[in-house]
Amino acid sequence: MKVVESFGAARYTGSGPVGLVPTMGFFHEGHLSLMRSARDACDWVIVSHFVNPLQFGPEEDLAAYPRDLDRDAGLAEQEGVDILFVPPVDEMYPHVPATRVTVDALTIGLEGRYRPGHFDGVAMVVTKLLAGLRPDLAYFGRKDAQQLAMVRRLAAELSFPTEIEGGPTVRNPDGLALSSRNSYLSEAERASAVAMFRGLEAAAALVATGERESLILEQAVVDAAAAEHGFDLEYAELTDAFDVVHLKRLDREAFLAAAGSVGSTRLIDNVWFHGPDLEPDLGVRLDGPSILEKVTA
């Protein structure tokens, strides 16, 4: 594996499909599962590793965001990644960009309401990665459901020849979705954080028995969060998987997205309902502790 800092050095000139996995580093099994999917399908696998300042709000955790490049390089190497692309900020943004990339309608609700400017920052970095590396496939987690929908729309509307693949949400054994931000949680906060998953799991069980009303599904998340004092739910919304509009009834491919905070840490999660049978999909659970817990212990 080569660790490179410039677009020029990361580009692949051979034949066969190129897969890209965009990340902000501090790898956990969610990132690794995307790398494995890319490894299975592609001849050349590029993982980008860049904490993108444009997607952090002024009050957010850019400076505190966890970083450990040596550890990440070891993990990527084990997954058979060919190129770890670690651009310095100057490579990505030699000037303050005059260009804006906005995927309007899909980014107004959910996270867009709580994180103004966030999706423009993500859209900018993804556009630069797709344009600069020209991958055939790019892999994104369903954990960030609104981001995945936005990236799909962006790639299609800007005519990138890249196919956007969604990967399953990888969870701790108790159900908490893996996130680099879990490393901020104290033990007590970590215990409260799982409330959101419990609510999503309850909603999935309702769907499996035939419930389709969004109010009832959303209420399952509200109730689970209310039962846990340490957890502060911001929203639970049944959302069309492609247009990211709120649904009154679950009658097409959708996700029930939720966000909330424990202490000062904000977490997001969702359960996906795949069409046409609207089969609930909570992703996959690890059978032991995540590599993330070993790092932060």
- Could you give the residue numbers annotated as active site? 31
Q: By C-beta, is 166 or 214 nearer to ligand AMP?
A: 166
CB atoms within 10 A of CB 165: 17
Alpha helices in the chain (DSSP H): 7-10, 29-41, 69-78, 89-92, 111-114, 118-133, 145-157, 187-208, 214-226, 291-296
* Stretch in the footprint of ligand AMP (CB under 6 A) among 24-32, 128-136, 155-163, 226-234: 24-32
Near ligand AMP in 92-151, by CB under 6 A = 140-141, 143-144
Q: How far is the CB of 21 from ligand AMP (least distance, A)?
A: 7
Per CB under 6 A, the segment of 22-30, 91-99, 109-117, 215-223 that binds ligand AMP is 22-30
Strand order in the sheet with 44-49: 2-4, 83-85, 44-49, 18-23, 137-141, 163-167
CA 296 – CA 284 distance, rounded (Å): 22
Interface positions, 140-159, toward ligand AMP (CB under 6 A): 140-141, 143-144
Please say whether the beta carbons of 3 and 86 come within 8 A: yes
141 phi/psi in degrees, rounded to 5: -80, 145
30 binds ligand AMP (CB under 6 A): yes
C-beta closer to ligand AMP: residue 31 or 266: 31
- The two three-digit tokens of residue 20, written as one number: 């890209």
Tell whether residue 19 is a contact of ligand AMP (CB under 6 A). no
User: What tokens appear for 271 in the block?
Assistant: 């359960």
259 is a contact residue toward ligand AMP (CB under 6 A): no
Number of other CB atoms surrounding residue 125 within 10 Å? 21
* Residue of 87, 121, 167, 175 interacting with ligand AMP (CB under 6 A): 167
Which is closer to ligand AMP, CB of 147 or CB of 214? 147
Compute the least distance from the CB of residue 29 to ligand AMP, in Å.
Answer: 7
Q: Which is nearer to ligand AMP, 196 or 214 (CB)?
A: 196
Extract the tokens encoding 90: 């100057």
Interface with ligand AMP by CB under 6 A: which residues? 23-24, 30-31, 34, 140-141, 143-144, 167, 169-170, 177-180
